[in-house]
Structure 1
Amino acid sequence: MLARSLYILDLPKKAEIPPHFISHFIQDNLDEVLWIGDTLIFPAIKFVPFSQTRNLLGQEFSLIIYDGRQQLHLESLAIVSGTLKAGGAVLMLVENWQSWQQQPDKDSLRWHSATYPVSAVNFRQYFKQCYDEIFHANFILTENLPHRAMLSPHRARLPHKRATEPQQAIIEQILLQQAKYYVVTAKRGRGKSALAGLLANHLTSPIYITAANKSAVNILQKFCQKTLQFIAPDELARQLTLTPQKFAQAWLLVDEATRLPLQILHKLSGHFQHILFTTTVDGYEGTGQGFLLKFLPNLEGKSQVFHLDFPLRWREQDPLEGFVNKLLLLNEKPTPLPIKPIIPSQVKLIPCSQRELIAKSNNIEQFYRLLAQAHYRTTPIDLRRLFDGDQQQFWLAKQQEQIVGGIWGIFEGGMKDNLLIQQILQGTRRPKGNLVAQLLCFQQQLPSACQLRSLRISRIALQPEYQQQGIGSALLQQLQQQCLSPSVNALKGLDYLSVSFGYQARLAQFWQQAGFELVYLGEHKEASTGYYNAIAIYPLSEQGKQLCQQAQSFFRRDIGLQSHPLSLYFGQMPLDWRLCPQDQQSLQNFAQWHRTFYAALPAIQRLILQHQDQSLALLLKQKDNYSQKQWLSLMRDKVRQYIAL
């Protein structure tokens, strides 16, 4: 098979790509050409914006034109590289390759706090380094064509609808039906979707397939000799609730399982006779390691995991695959961990600036791999933020030069604009960044959360081998001590630490044992985790202590009147029905501004009891008689009438 290539074409923003470039790369079939970018240039060529490249899964192209002149959208580049045929080429457009790393990157709007595009010097420089290692100067083009023959892209020589030896061996193991759950992991292009289709040919039970995107199962369908019923994940979860018995004797094939939220995966897993999950180990959606570590161990029933190693759709050691893997830090194999047991008190947490983290490639590779192993989903956006995000501080815990743990902190608060803080409180503004600070200001009506300086613990991670040994708690204690007696300038003047996490009893216990106070629980379960969003804070200064006391008091006083499923665990008893100034402000912000009904509900309940007005109580019970928008408008009007009294 021919190698796949990535060419860089240096082209000004407003300039059009010379037509002879396209004709050089491909002779006549424009259906095999794809253009991805911000705007359509050639009407005759299939165009897909960056935001929709996930829909390309299951398709194949001979030439892909990637317009990177305004932004470097990393997931899109990784996605389309997996749709390129053997012998094909990606033609990446840039403006002024020599100074490319200094140019504003529109993609920064997704991972930087600035409201305008900023340069991504660190990652773009790293991009160039990776490119120079894999390719060479002849692949960087201006007006000259590459010195090579016309492309001859073609499909990999797969046996037509027949399994390869590794695929057949896995299929035979699965057909023994010795487990309830089967998982096939692989990098892209290894034939895991084809394996699922080939397996279906041998099954006599009813078969259903699901995936985050219907087009993703195209390859699966091609290798199956019968028509399989595709059901979207949300719809399948709904049907399982209504008629679970319909699926009790059926097989479910889940393609690219890591793209589905944990909540959906758990919902699907309990109702089928057998389930096959296929998932990318490393790729554009992040990593499948979290799937193996976080999801499978919690399933009730035996599971078997298989792996496919060798590419089928392109050659081994393909340069484009090697480049993308290196760019996404997916090449680094985990270093064997020290055999010697670790004593928690002997693990030292060392502060590390962003510059120090990326200065040593071994550091950032190990740290990113650590995140991927410890968390369900780690994505290319995390990688971009690591390299060029702002307001960050890192800590590394090493054992014999191997990173065994780490903490990723984000600085928040310190806001001086009182008008902006007031608008956040009212819900009329939601500027980028300051996740916890803004949430406490808006939901708990605590403007001081935005005014005080804080550090949000974005991630805390340990190698799986060292979890449940007290090491995480030891690292957290060291972080707290370093923030209380800072030697790093950036840590001076902090008022509190915060963390946002998916509520689980054991996680809440971990944070509470470290001195953090739970101050918020979200109304709904998060789609990505299947858990309620929880906020906990740890005070560092006197002002931080006051904020913590207020936030905890408001939380415990109100949650019992919010009808939250977890209210019995946290609400104070007996319930406080007094209408206080905090409630008056909540009602005012609900009636006049954009405070959510969930946040205002405790104050509304107290208002009903105080005024003994059954019309408001009745309206509260008639939610199903109106559309959500109509009902909310009526509620705001009704509360507004009481405020005016």
Structure 2
Amino acid sequence: MPVTACLQPLLAEAAARQIRLPVLLQGKQAELRLQCQQLIATIKPQRLYWLGEQAPAASTQLKPGNNYQLLGSECDMLVVNAFSGFNADLIAASAGCLKAGGLWLLLAPPDEHWYQQPNPAHSMLLPYPLNPLAHQGQFIRFWLARLAECQLLKLTLNNDQLNVNQQLTLPDYQSPAAVAALYASTEQQQAVAAILKVVSGHRKRPLVLVADRGRGKSAALGLAAALLVQQGKKRLIITAASPNAAATAISHYQQQLPDTPGLRFMAVDQLLLEQPELDLLLIDEAAALPTAVLKQLADHYSRIVFATTEHGYEGTGRGFQLRFQRYLEQTQSGWKRLQIKQPVRYQQHDPLERLIFTSFLLQQPETEPIYRPGQPLQLRQYQHNDWLATPEQLSAVFHLLSQAHYQTQVKDLAALLDNPQLSVVALYQHDQLLACALLSYEGELEPALCQLIYQGKRRVQGHLLAQSLAFHLAEPQLACQRLVRVMRIAVAQPLQRQGLGGQLLAEVTNLLKQQNIDWLGTSFGVSSALLAFWQAAAYIPVRLSHFADNASSEPSVLMLKPINGSKKLVQQLNQQSANELYHCLQEYPANLSFDVISKLVLPPSATLTAADIAQLQLFAEGKRPYQLVAHQLLNWFNLHYLQLESFAAAVIAARLWQKQSWQTISQRFQLAGKAACIKLIQQQISSS
């Protein structure tokens, strides 16, 4: 039976039941390609999306890195050509574009051949010196095992003989509830009403709108904006990590009011810089923005909506919810959370959506671990080839990483299975996962390669710590040694602030001592709390990047902990970094917090003579201008900066260390100009 004859009646049934049809078709590439062409010619999809090579001329070929462009877009047929690679991130993201009655068709070799086939689509996940054209990972084998638990039609084609290897049972049709013509669902209508209430109700009561993909969340933002403009509200801004992430909302606004300006996109950095007066600020895909940025926006704007995808394929949304909702509870107790559960492109029990959630481990567990202090803990280490035998532990680890870090993506799951240099050290109690650390084994590079990295002539993938030591710190010999980088550490949300993170790091150190590792390192977007956590674990800062990290909006700090490496050397690197930071602070981000600066700088030793003190007293009394005592002020501040009140110290550091103008300082700290800044300094001298 031809593939077309097999699938046509099923597609008609899928359309009648308002679901998508997931099909895995396996066999020889040329034979599958021919059958696929015939199928496309027969069903004539209005819009065909294609992942992989050999895309037909009439299709839209999806490329890696364009996940945000998929938000809100739709297609009638989606083909994945896995013969040329299997991009897990893109497959998970694109599935949400397929409409009800549509066909999701995966073309692949038979299982046994697919297991042994390299996956060049995941080449960015593999460290040097692995060859992505030859390396065989474990991800495909794991993923196919998950598919066996899903509702999927699995077909094998061999010399025109079509065999059914796995049957698909279609869910019963569920008729949607009646809803006003403007809306796609009753829940979307409720979401629009909740957005309008943010504007009409009390100030400082933001709305957090969460939904899985395909629930009409972004459309609700645009519909609400159109209604607000019709009510006379004209100062509406939508922001997101990229303009594409806001495109759906703007499109729905323009469909309602095609010739009426009112809702416009503004980039986050521009929004923070200009801080325009607004009737309402909308933030779409908020989980993709750093929490620090969201906090700034929440603090400044009194009417704001945070919308995010529950299972965000650009970065999982649950971690954002857990961390950011806690901040809202502390600062704006009147905030509301609304979840949209009802899909609008397909019905609730859609087999493709279940397949994506199940196979990529996107379904979050409902139970939370219980920790009993004083009772024994167990430590386990997993390598990439351990997960197939313990899939339930992989699921628990990936869910924990997703909850703790908003950047966790589907490709991180693939990396755990495909990258032999990644390892997880997990802390258990009574078989409950309490905390885990994701480790990257790096270094042991050839001396000649280390020299090329030091000279800026080479970069190698998967060796961030080794590369930074060789290039940024000019210590190429360290890249030859055995290094481990702590990429992420995660503690179950209810168990945080009970010392489990520090305990896990101590266990990691002991474990790596036994493995003869020379250095432990970590790199992260710096904050005062994180810096204190790692310093308490005996990690020593050796470098602060000059630019803010895209994910955290903070510069990254590199920290080292010697295991078998030289303690004296790491102390020298720390001193060099602290000296450089002090002398070159004006070259770093202007908003770098004083809490961070004070933990990283090392001011030169300073003394104040009796004459210096007398001059400063006259300045404090308003009898000397600032410019005549600037040098004495610098020496005085270098001696006393740790004892001063934090706000005043931050203002003074901005002037004396960061060399910022009085105007910049006044705006940054909301002071009434140069005179107010000088008065604050004078008060600190008087009270010191």
SS of 2:368 mapped into structure 1: coil
| Cα shift readout 1:169-199 (whole Å, capped 9, x = no counterpart) | 4444444434432111111122222322333
Residues 108 and 118, structure 1, Cα contact 8 Å, conserved in 2: no
The residue aligned with 2:648 is: none
Per-residue deviation, 1:558: 2.3
Per-residue deviation, 1:374: 1.1
Per-residue deviation, 1:404: 1.1
AA in 2 matched with 1:33: L
User: What does 1:183-194 correspond to in 2, within 5 Å?
Assistant: 183-194=208-219
Matched, 1:85 2:102: no
1:160 to 137, 160, 181: 181
Q: Percent identity, aligned pairs only?
A: 27
Q: 1:420 to 1:144 in 2, by over 3 A?
A: same
CA distance in 2, matches of 1:421, 1:216: 40
Matched, 1:360 2:390: yes
SS of 1:481 mapped into structure 2: helix
The residue aligned with 1:31 is: 46
Per-residue deviation, 1:466: 0.9
CA distance in 2, matches of 1:294, 1:363: 24
Residues 237 and 278, structure 2, Cα contact 8 Å, conserved in 1: no
CA distance in 2, matches of 1:451, 1:531: 29
SS of 1:316 mapped into structure 2: coil
SS of 1:461 mapped into structure 2: strand
Please provide the CA RMSD for this pair: 3.2
Per-residue deviation, 1:138: 4.7
The residue aligned with 2:683 is: none
Residues 525 and 557, structure 2, Cα contact 8 Å, conserved in 1: yes
SS of 1:295 mapped into structure 2: helix
Q: 1:141 to 1:219 in 2, by over 3 A?
A: farther
Residues 31 and 45, structure 1, Cα contact 8 Å, conserved in 2: no
Q: 1:44 to 1:354 in 2, by over 3 A?
A: closer
Residues 383 and 420, structure 2, Cα contact 8 Å, conserved in 1: no
Q: 1:268 to 1:146 in 2, by over 3 A?
A: farther
CA distance in 1, matches of 2:157, 2:345: 27
Residues 252 and 276, structure 1, Cα contact 8 Å, conserved in 2: yes
CA distance in 1, matches of 2:18, 2:149: 19
The residue aligned with 1:70 is: 84
Q: 1:360 to 1:428 in 2, by over 3 A?
A: same
Residues 74 and 97, structure 2, Cα contact 8 Å, conserved in 1: yes
The residue aligned with 2:415 is: 385
1:533 to 556, 559, 563: 556
| Cα shift readout 1:426-446 (whole Å, capped 9, x = no counterpart) | 111111122112101111111
1:550 to 572, 575, 579: 572
The residue aligned with 2:540 is: 517
Matched, 1:321 2:353: yes
SS of 1:404 mapped into structure 2: strand
Residues 290 and 374, structure 1, Cα contact 8 Å, conserved in 2: yes
Rg larger in structure: 2
Per-residue deviation, 1:390: 1.6
Matched, 1:464 2:493: yes
Per-residue deviation, 1:231: 4.5
Q: 1:163 to 1:89 in 2, by over 3 A?
A: closer
Residues 209 and 254, structure 1, Cα contact 8 Å, conserved in 2: yes
The residue aligned with 1:433 is: 462
Q: Structure 1: state its 5+ residue gaps.
A: 577-620, 622-645
Residues 288 and 406, structure 2, Cα contact 8 Å, conserved in 1: no
Residues 108 and 117, structure 1, Cα contact 8 Å, conserved in 2: no
The residue aligned with 1:116 is: 132
AA in 2 matched with 1:108: H
Normalising by structure 2, we get a TM-score of: 0.74
2:430 to 396, 400, 419: 400
AA in 2 matched with 1:412: E
The residue aligned with 1:182 is: 207
Residues 449 and 547, structure 1, Cα contact 8 Å, conserved in 2: no
CA distance in 1, matches of 2:152, 2:597: 61
CA distance in 1, matches of 2:298, 2:95: 31
2:282 to 250, 253, 272: 253
The residue aligned with 2:113 is: 99
Query: How many residues end up aligned between the 2 structures?
Result: 558
AA in 2 matched with 1:6: P
Matched, 1:475 2:504: yes
User: What does 1:441-456 correspond to in 2, within 5 Å?
Assistant: 441-456=470-485
Residues 349 and 479, structure 1, Cα contact 8 Å, conserved in 2: no
SS of 1:194 mapped into structure 2: helix
Matched, 1:414 2:444: yes
Per-residue deviation, 1:13: 5.3
CA distance in 1, matches of 2:414, 2:347: 29
AA in 2 matched with 1:545: K
Residues 127 and 327, structure 1, Cα contact 8 Å, conserved in 2: yes
User: What does 1:288-327 correspond to in 2, within 5 Å?
Assistant: 288-298=317-327, 300-302=331-333, 303-327=335-359
Residues 86 and 313, structure 1, Cα contact 8 Å, conserved in 2: yes
The residue aligned with 2:378 is: 348
Per-residue deviation, 1:53: 4.5
CA distance in 2, matches of 1:213, 1:23: 38
The residue aligned with 1:132 is: 148
| Cα shift readout 1:353-410 (whole Å, capped 9, x = no counterpart) | 3333442222111111111111122101211111121223322112232211111211
The residue aligned with 1:642 is: none
The residue aligned with 2:604 is: 574
Per-residue deviation, 1:264: 4.8
Per-residue deviation, 1:115: 4.3
SS of 2:149 mapped into structure 1: helix
2:584 to 543, 552, 562: 562
CA distance in 1, matches of 2:144, 2:70: 26
Residues 284 and 306, structure 2, Cα contact 8 Å, conserved in 1: yes
Per-residue deviation, 1:425: 0.9
CA distance in 2, matches of 1:230, 1:249: 11
AA in 2 matched with 1:532: P
AA in 2 matched with 1:101: Y
AA in 1 matched with 2:575: S
Per-residue deviation, 1:229: 5.0
Per-residue deviation, 1:570: 2.8
AA in 1 matched with 2:431: E
SS of 1:161 mapped into structure 2: coil
CA distance in 2, matches of 1:228, 1:345: 63
2:224 to 183, 199, 204: 199
CA distance in 2, matches of 1:144, 1:60: 33
User: What does 1:136-285 correspond to in 2, within 5 Å?
Assistant: 138-141=154-157, 143=160, 160-162=181-183, 164-176=185-197, 177-178=201-202, 179-203=204-228, 204=231, 205=233, 206-217=235-246, 219-221=248-250, 223-224=252-253, 225-226=256-257, 227=260, 231-234=264-267, 237-242=269-274, 244=275, 247-262=276-291, 264-266=293-295, 268-285=297-314
AA in 2 matched with 1:427: G
Per-residue deviation, 1:423: 0.9
